[in-house]
Structure 1
Amino acid sequence: MSAAASPAAVGTLVPVEVHFDELDAMGVLHNGRYQLLVERAWATFWYRRGFGGADGLENDAFNVVKAFTITYDTPVSAPGTYAVNLWIDRLGSTSATAGYRVCSADGETTYAHGTRTVIRLDRTTFLPTPWSDRARGVAREIMVPRED
């Protein structure tokens, strides 16, 4: 699936806010802020489904980013409400690769797109550990069907 061509019909849209102080000297969203918007959207997605707990690091929420790619399509040039369109491309036993688009609140305009791969870790050993059945069920809600 092409992330740039992915309309809001796949995955889910999570609202995010861009504040005035996130714009750089040229009046556009600083490049490093896009990743922060994506991370906040993922945290919101999982938290709203009961993952994360009090300190945000329980069970399936204890994971680390292995890879993050981004392509900037057009600048965000004003504060306001936007969205991050999230979907799961691949769910392995201990990893997950997801696609995303930073987009307009209605999902029509894409500002940036890319992928994010995470690895679930055991909180004690810091070794990869399998996702729970519950996390797999939630991930399937926004998983892109595979074309085999």
Structure 2
Amino acid sequence: MSDQKSRTEIVEVFFDDLDSFGVLHHAKYAMILERGVLSHFAKIGLALGHADLNNFVRELSITYESPVAGMGPVELTFWIEKLGRTSSVIAFRIHSGETLHAYGRRVTVKFDPRTRKPAPWTDSTRHLIEEEFLMKQ
């Protein structure tokens, strides 16, 4: 993470996110990632409906370390590992203070909604992401 800046969002775990044991269901970790990333992007001007949020998830990997028990806030810390011409790689940690619950990475590809083919990021979004997440060398 030496050349990236991380961001942390507080994300709520709700009752319907829990499994029958009262812990966060394994499939809901991806939703924690989505909620946190979209919340942060909205804060920096990339709200739902923005053309550069037309994305397909190409790859998602999650390693589970310690369960999230019960409802309440968890922290999502994420950073951009790579910003390509039409894609991005986000690495993340879901944690409660020092307790690491899960970590992983997500690769998304921006697409043109008319053709459903990869499309380049707009210059304004590329600049915004570089300013927000990438360190100057």
Which interval holds the TM-score relative to the shorter structure?
A: 0.7 to 0.9
In structure 2, distance between residues paired with 1:12 and 1:109? 17
Deviation of the 1:144 alpha carbon: 6.8
Whichever residue aligns with residue 143 of structure 1, its letter is: L
In structure 1, distance between residues paired with 2:78 and 2:37? 8
Number of residue pairs matched by the alignment: 134
Whichever residue aligns with residue 12 of structure 1, its letter is: R
1:41-61 CA-partner distances (Å, limit 9, x unpaired): 111111111113xxx233101
TM-score by length of 1: 0.82
4+ residue segments displaced more than 4 Å: none
Whichever residue aligns with residue 35 of structure 1, its letter is: A
> 1:24 aligned to 2:14?
no
> 1:126 aligned to 2:116?
yes
Deviation of the 1:63 alpha carbon: 1.1
In structure 2, distance between residues paired with 1:134 and 1:14? 23
Whichever residue aligns with residue 125 of structure 1, its letter is: T
Whichever residue aligns with residue 48 of structure 1, its letter is: K
Structure 1, unpaired ranges of 5+ = 2-8
Task: Report matched runs for 1:1-148 at 5 Å.
Answer: 1=1, 10-52=5-47, 56-104=48-96, 106=97, 108-140=98-130, 141-143=132-134
Residues 132 and 78 from structure 1, CA distance in 2 versus in 1: closer, same or farther, beyond 3 angstroms? same
> SS of the counterpart of 2:58?
strand
In structure 1, distance between residues paired with 2:82 and 2:102? 20
TM-score by length of 2: 0.88
In structure 2, distance between residues paired with 1:119 and 1:22? 27
Whichever residue aligns with residue 127 of structure 1, its letter is: K
- Give the superposed CA RMSD: 2.0
Deviation of the 1:10 alpha carbon: 4.5
In structure 2, distance between residues paired with 1:33 and 1:41? 12
Residues 27 and 145 from structure 1, CA distance in 2 versus in 1: closer, same or farther, beyond 3 angstroms? farther
